[in-house]
Amino acid sequence: GTRIIYDRKFLLERRSSPVAK
């Protein structure tokens, strides 16, 4: 199946946003 890959920048951007945009 597909892998769920996130880079560091993406993960850090989610840090202060509890709800996805």
Partner 1 sequence: ARRKMAVPGAGEHPLQFNYSLWYSRRTPGRPASTQSYEQNIRQIGTFASVEQFWRFYSHMIRPGDLTGHSDFHLFKDGIKPMWEDDANKMGGKWIIRLRKGLASRCWENLILAILGEQFMVGEEICGAVVSVRFQEDILSIWNKTASDQATTARIRDTLRRVLNLPPNTIMEYKTHTDSIKYS
Please report, as ranges, the residues that interact with partner 1 according to CB under 8 A: 3-8, 10-12, 14-20
Cβ at position 15, least distance to partner 1 in Å: 5
Closest CA relative to residue 15, chosen from 6, 2, 3, 5 = 6
Q: What residue spans of the chain are helical by DSSP H?
A: 8-13
